[in-house]
Amino acid sequence: MEQKKINIAIVGLGFGAEFIPIYQKHPNANMYAICQRDTEKLNAIGDAFGISKRYSDYDELLKDPEVHAVHINTPIQSHAEQSLKALRAGKHVACTVPMATTEDECRQIVEAVKETGLTYMMMETVIYSREFLFVKELYESGAMGKLQFLRASHQQEMAGWPGYWEGLPPMHYATHCVGPVLALAKADAEYVSCFGSGTIDSDLISKYGSPFAVESCHIKFRDSDLAAEVTRSLFNTARQYRESFDVYGSKKTFEWTLVEHEESVIHTGETPEKVTIPDYAYLLPEEIQHFTTGGVYDADSNQHLSFIQGSGHGGSHPHLVHEFLTALVAGREPFPNARQSANITCVGILAHESAMNGGKRIDLPAFTLE
């Protein structure tokens, strides 16, 4: 691997702090700067990880000519604005999900990438999880046969999370279930139809005007005979955390475990067999392989809520970092790039619009398609 070094600035140090030691160890990264409005937190994390370049003002960080790329981990309402500012300031962008909260914001980011020639990658964890890598390997080997149907769900109780989550339309944060079904099939979504079901508490409804406890969406794939179904819930629905996908093939089917920490199942014909998912650290540089099973989240005092509920995101963090950095070094497109990220994100945005209109079919915009 070429030993070019990319100067990285991490923006947002809640979830974002999970990535600091990975960048520090990656052979193609220089963990150059951190940015956080809360200066007490900024300095505490800077001291803990030995990072001297610190910014409490994002606009000031973007003026720094030594910053090559930013990794954004701020609240979802800030993603589009901060991504656009970075691209226009000449910085490559990695951004946690979702890409944006409106179709127009997604379009602006795709256009900005075309105009600047810079790189954008949405850091979708599930498509780099060990579970996804296992099923991808199984499918690409031919063992699953023809893909026939895909189903995914992300059910989560968001009580206790920061206030901006309260009452959020379920499909506005759907990339964890939309991403894997599109990525496995290497397909784009062409159109969606979504139904809402149930009702959340009235004080939650008023925040976004979204009444539904659950939203369930069908996705038609473009230039394919495939469709997928994805389900999302955030409040007032009794269910252990589940971030899952099922893949139905003509020869083999993979079904995600129903209960966390139990084994998933592979059906060969009509015969089921429990399967232990292997780790895929060997795909990574030796220096960051151990981050598939450990990191700053080892200690209880450092655990981010996404790890408490999400089982460490399937070891995906070092894979995401590696994909972003190697794309920059090689001058290639990462997966997902800006257009693909917009297609994944707009599925959720338009699915909620469909649910609010009784399941109306809505086509994905042309800028999200090849």
Mean of per-residue pLDDT scores for the chain: 94
Task: Provide mean pLDDT across the span 14-41.
Answer: 96
Query: Can you give the pLDDT at residue 311?
Result: 44
Angstrom CA distances, 156 to 130, 197, 233, 237, 335, stand at 20, 16, 6, 8, 26
Closest CA to 94 of 304, 366, 326: 326
Domains 6-124+317-333 and 126-282+346-368 share a fold: no
Tokens of 123: 């850091």
Say which CATH topology domain 6-124+317-333 has: Rossmann fold (3.40.50)
What confidence tier does 322 reach under pLDDT thresholds 50, 70, 90? very high
Query: Can you give the pLDDT at residue 2?
Result: 62
pLDDT(220) > 90: yes
C-alpha to C-alpha distance for 368 and 341, rounded to whole angstroms: 8
**3-class SS shares of the chain: helix, strand, coil, % to 5:** 40, 25, 35
Query: Can you give the pLDDT at residue 8?
Result: 98
pLDDT(3) > 90: no
Amino acid at 200: I
pLDDT(227) > 60: yes
Q: What is the pTM of this model?
A: 0.95
Query: Residue holding tokens 């206790």?
Result: 160
Query: Can you give the pLDDT at residue 308?
Result: 46
C-alpha to C-alpha distance for 188 and 342, rounded to whole angstroms: 10
Pick the CATH number of 126-282+346-368 from 3.30.360.10, 3.40.50.1470, 3.20.10.10, 3.30.479.30: 3.30.360.10
| Domain residue ranges of the chain, discontinuous segments joined by + | 6-124+317-333, 126-282+346-368
Query: Can you give the pLDDT at residue 174?
Result: 98
88-113 tens-digit pLDDT: 999 999 999 999 999 999 999 999 99
Query: Can you give the pLDDT at residue 309?
Result: 41
With beta carbons less than 8 A apart as the criterion, state whether 246 and 153 touch. Answer: no
pLDDT(169) > 70: yes
